[in-house]
Amino acid sequence: MSAFRNILTISAGVFTIAAIGLVTSRHSNAADHGKEVTIGAPLPLPVVVANPLSSPVLTAAIDNPALQPFQFFAAGAPLNFNFQVPTGKTLVIEQVSFLCTQSNMTDFRLFTTSNGTFGSYYFASLIIAPAGVITEVLADQMTHIYADGGSTVTVTGGGAVGTGPHTCNATVGGHLVSAP
């Protein structure tokens, strides 16, 4: 009799748990809030912009709205050019390029002042001298050099000017940032 009572007690317990589960798990629909949206592709979704080349998409440096492109170019002989960084701006020099013809330049130099401290940067030159053609000495280098607003940046070369007519040019490129 005891075994029958145990089976009956266990059966009653299982039935009670099942009944509670059925009562509390009824299906309910969400309230109607309009149209249903289904995302049919993995995120992030690609964005296609169909602007013509005559009307490109305008962009801005969101992380640095004060960023302003800057470029300086000078040509002549000898290689000794100066330019002034605008007051209230910091110049970030990202690329320098030098070229001299008929020259014995050994290197090219860039002088700046950053945070009130003078700095000199030297760039090794490459000599291109094909037979019967004018000798060219050049250097082209990516950089990350700073110059204070109101300071003078100087571009010059080391070595001697060669024989015959010669000319040099220099390009300094980067961006200006508004100083705080």
Give the number of C-alpha atoms closer than 13 A to the C-alpha of residue 180, restricted to the C-beta side.
Answer: 2
pLDDT tens profile 43-60: 777 777 778 877 777 766
Does the predicted TM-score (pTM) go above 0.85?
A: no
CA dihedral defined by 138, 142, 146, 150, rounded to 10 degrees? 50
Any idea where the domains of the chain sit in the sequence?
68-178
Q: What is the pLDDT of residue 165?
A: 66
Q: What is the pLDDT of residue 47?
A: 77
In the CATH hierarchy, which fold is given to the domain comprising 68-178? Jelly Rolls (2.60.120)
Report the sign of the C-alpha dihedral through residues 20, 26, 31, 36, in that order: positive
pLDDT per position in the chain (180 positions), as tens? 677 777 777 777 777 777 676 666 656 666 666 677 777 767 777 777 778 877 777 766 666 666 789 999 999 887 889 999 999 999 999 999 998 886 677 789 999 999 999 999 999 888 887 766 777 888 999 999 999 999 999 999 877 655 666 788 999 999 999 877
The residue type found at 151 is S
Q: What is the pLDDT of residue 169?
A: 92
Q: What is the pLDDT of residue 147?
A: 97
Q: What is the pLDDT of residue 84?
A: 96
Q: What is the pLDDT of residue 21?
A: 67
Report the sign of the C-alpha dihedral through residues 65, 111, 163, 165, in that order: positive
